[in-house]
Amino acid sequence: MSIALGATSANLVSASSGGGSAVALQAQLDRCNKQLSDWVNCASGKTPEGKQVVAALQEKISSIKQQIQQQSDGANRRDASAPVSPPVSPALASIGSIGTLLNTVA
Q: Which tens digits make up the pLDDT trace of 61-87?
A: 999 999 999 988 887 776 666 666 666
The H or E element spanning position 31 is helix 22-40
Does residue 100 sit in helix, strand or coil?
helix
Query: Does residue 5 surpass a pLDDT of 90?
Result: no
2 domain residue, yes or no = no
Q: Is residue 55 domain-resident?
A: yes
Q: Which domain holds residue 69?
A: 9-105
Q: How many CB atoms lie within 10 A of CB 7?
A: 18
Cβ(65)–Cβ(29) below 8 Å = yes
Position 8 pLDDT exceeds 50? no
How far apart are the C-alpha atoms of 75 and 80, rounded to whole Å?
Answer: 9
Instruction: Please tell me the predicted confidence (pLDDT) of residue 21.
Output: 87
Backbone angles phi, psi at 24, to 5 degrees: -65, -40
Does residue 75 lie in a domain region? yes
Does 13 map to a domain?
yes
